[in-house]
A and B are shown apart, each in its own frame.
Chain A
């Protein structure tokens, strides 16, 4: 089982990368961690004449926090993210989602940018980015532009990144004040892609009323999906009085998960509802206990 022949390029900078993308525009693919792309090429589900490897572009590996915004370079590995204290504090949902990605051997090479640009509808990072209202920094030879998460995921394995562009970083608003986060997924085996999963992020005001809420499902279609109806329903409610069961029901009302060999659509909906109840209740509980303090464990 071998990938079809291709010409390999290992640029040392973003500028060089973009030049290569321009030169081979017709049949070129960017390689990040390779934990999805390499098997797709080995199985001949994908073939390209040119492969541009970002692993030797050091400027794409960083974790920075500035002005309330966490910025993670696209080539930062999932293992680096799992071990980052600043991410555990500023975006604990990312830390928790990371532990659900594949196995540690995969996370040693897999990158956040690769996972987001690959855009598997059952993957954790796209759902986490959507939940946290992340902004995607997409760079071309004309400079960088920012794409909101809601516009980034177009359809299964398709994003707003154009052929002459790369995803260079993701920007995530740092958690501030009384916030709570939760992720839960159902997979048949540890490390498998989730049959279905749910995430929740909430922010409370000084009276512990829900000020901000995001509920996201993954594994329910080509792209992760927000449960906007349920989010609107809990905003303004006192955290202690939210009925998780009712919110879970509301959150899945508009879902129409596809059936495949792994599960029927109806089963996915039922599991999604149960997971939604869990993540909403856990996120609210965490936010209530947060008391605006800065201390937060990684789990």
Chain B
């Protein structure tokens, strides 16, 4: 077994593990660190359920080896909310606009939408569709999700200064 030591800052906390090289970041987040909010759907980069942020960029954690995250900052759904607890703006808007049903795809979608709005706080409808295209949802038909992104963008625009 080719095992290696891995240390990463996950949701602001430094974590270490000794991992097999073949394990993906998603595997280690879930199985070693018990951060099971990151969901695994397809495990080959199609569904987007496992989307997390690595050094501020949204990536599919099933398409990255865990050891590649050595020294990186990782943010998962467990770390997306405010430090004081509760939901992030994007999560609140998903709740308000019925942007989820079974909830399996939601962690990946919330991370993707957070990344989309950080990059482009006032996306056009076309940009919203493009930004959501990397995440599959089999329940909602996407309309509630689109409304949630629009509502989050409007809330950002309405925030003072």
**In the complex, chain B residues whose CB is within 8 Å of the CB of A10:** 67
Per a CB cutoff under 8 Å, which of B45, B48, B67, B131 touches A38? B45
Q: Does A55 contact B (CB under 8 A)?
A: yes
| A103→B133 contact, CB < 8 A | yes
Q: Does B62 contact A (CB under 8 A)?
A: yes
Task: Give Cα A191–Cα B135 distance, bound, in whole angstroms.
Answer: 11
Known: A5-B2, A104-B134, A191-B134. A35 touches B45 (CB 8 A): yes
**Chain A proximity of B102: nearest CB distance (Å):** 21
| A109→B43 contact, CB < 8 A | no
Q: Does B60 contact A (CB under 8 A)?
A: yes
| A109→B44 contact, CB < 8 A | no
Per a CB cutoff under 8 Å, which of A2, A43, A105, A108 touches B48? A105
**In the complex, chain B residues whose CB is within 8 Å of the CB of A35:** 45, 60, 63
Per a CB cutoff under 8 Å, which of B1, B64, B134 touches A103? B134
Task: Give Cα A108–Cα B52 distance, bound, in whole angstroms.
Answer: 12
| B21→A7 contact, CB < 8 A | yes
Task: Give Cα A35–Cα B65 distance, bound, in whole angstroms.
Answer: 11
| A38→B134 contact, CB < 8 A | no
Per a CB cutoff under 8 Å, which of A1, A53, A104 touches B58? A104
Binary interface profile of B, 131-149, with partner A (CB < 8 Å = 1, else 0)?
1011000000000000000
Task: Give Cα A103–Cα B65 distance, bound, in whole angstroms.
Answer: 19
Binary interface profile of B, 40-65, with partner A (CB < 8 Å = 1, else 0)?
00011100100100000111101111
Q: Does A190 contact B (CB under 8 A)?
A: yes
| A6→B62 contact, CB < 8 A | no
Q: Does B78 contact A (CB under 8 A)?
A: no
**Chain A proximity of B28: nearest CB distance (Å):** 12
**Chain A proximity of B138: nearest CB distance (Å):** 14
Task: Give Cα A41–Cα B21 distance, bound, in whole angstroms.
Answer: 12
**In the complex, chain B residues whose CB is within 8 Å of the CB of A190:** 129-130, 133
Q: Does B116 contact A (CB under 8 A)?
A: yes
Q: Does B18 contact A (CB under 8 A)?
A: no
Residues of chain A from 171 to 226 with CB closer than 8 A to chain B in the complex = 189-191
| Chain A interface bracket (under 10, 10 to 19, 20 to 34, 35 or more) | 20 to 34
**In the complex, chain B residues whose CB is within 8 Å of the CB of A34:** 63-65, 68
**In the complex, chain A residues whose CB is within 8 Å of the CB of B67:** 8, 10
Per a CB cutoff under 8 Å, which of B27, B45, B133 touches A39? B45
Residues of chain B from 72 to 126 with CB closer than 8 A to chain A in the complex = 112, 115-116
| A191→B64 contact, CB < 8 A | no
| B44→A8 contact, CB < 8 A | no
Task: Give Cα A3–Cα B65 distance, bound, in whole angstroms.
Answer: 10
**Chain A proximity of B9: nearest CB distance (Å):** 18
Residues of chain A from 104 to 137 with CB closer than 8 A to chain B in the complex = 104-106, 108-109
**In the complex, chain B residues whose CB is within 8 Å of the CB of A109:** 57, 59-60, 63-64
| A42→B134 contact, CB < 8 A | no
Task: Give Cα A38–Cα B25 distance, bound, in whole angstroms.
Answer: 12
Residues of chain A from 3 to 18 with CB closer than 8 A to chain B in the complex = 3-8, 10
| B58→A105 contact, CB < 8 A | yes
Q: Does A51 contact B (CB under 8 A)?
A: yes
Binary interface profile of A, 42-61, with partner B (CB < 8 Å = 1, else 0)?
11000000010101000000
Chain B: CB-nearest residue to A43: B44
**In the complex, chain A residues whose CB is within 8 Å of the CB of B155:** none
Closest 3 CB pairs of A and B: A103-B134, A8-B21, A39-B44
A-B contact pairs, 16 of them (CB 8 A): A1-B44, A8-B65, A34-B64, A35-B63, A38-B63, A41-B22, A79-B57, A103-B134, A104-B134, A105-B48, A105-B115, A105-B134, A106-B60, A108-B58, A109-B59, A109-B63
**Residues on A facing B (Cβ under 8 Å):** 1-8, 10, 34-35, 38-39, 41-43, 51, 53, 55, 79, 102-106, 108-109, 189-191
Given A1-B43, A7-B21, A34-B63, list of 15 further CB < 8 A pairs? Answer: A2-B22, A5-B20, A6-B22, A7-B2, A35-B45, A35-B60, A42-B62, A79-B57, A103-B134, A105-B58, A106-B63, A108-B58, A189-B133, A190-B130, A190-B133
